[in-house]
Amino acid sequence: MTFTLSPEPWDSADGARLRAAMEKELAARYGIPDQETDRPTAETVDVFLIARDAAGEATGCGALRLLPDGTGEVKRMYVSPDARGTGVATALLRALEDHARQRGADTVQLSTGVEQPDAIRFYDREGYRRTDGYGPYRGHPMAVCFARRLA
């Protein structure tokens, strides 16, 4: 699959559509609506990337937020089901890591959940190590947190 990645406004129509699809999928997996207490916004993310296929269709997204301690936090990583397994998620993750590196971060962290075994396998495979959590996710029974030191 051929695709491109580019920064786009957080509140773009395609970004909103992808995030809504992610929230719908998570609500179905967990049986509850999104419970995140510190939701990312246009003001709190440093970059929001959208992946597009050769026809220009938005197939995935991801954001990076820089935390006060200088760590990068990956937020709202999502790839539409029909584009999974094509390399879009890996490309998005690497681009977010590059952005974090350019902003001086030496570590990137993220949280996924116990009902997302596909995401857990993905982050394990991509060189992330499991952590005890951070911020609102520390000790949360449904959170599975990861971090990766950047070279």
Residues in contact with 128: Cβ distance below 8 Å, sequence separation at least 6, in sequence order: 110, 146, 147, 148
3-state secondary structure of 97: helix
Residues in contact with 61: Cβ distance below 8 Å, sequence separation at least 6, in sequence order: 14, 15, 18, 19, 48, 49, 50, 51, 76, 77, 78, 92
- Domain of residue 39, CATH code: 3.40.630.30
Residue 70: which domain range? 3-149
Q: Give the model's pLDDT for residue 32.
A: 84
Reading the block at residue 4, the tokens are 């491109």
Tally of structural domains, the chain: 1
Q: Give the model's pLDDT for residue 38.
A: 79
Per-residue pLDDT of the chain (151 residues; tens, 9 = 90+): 799 999 999 999 999 999 999 999 999 999 887 777 778 999 999 999 999 999 999 999 999 999 999 999 999 999 999 999 999 999 999 999 999 999 999 999 999 999 999 999 999 999 999 999 998 899 989 999 999 999 8
Instruction: Tell me the pTM.
Output: 0.95
Reading the block at residue 133, the tokens are 């959590």
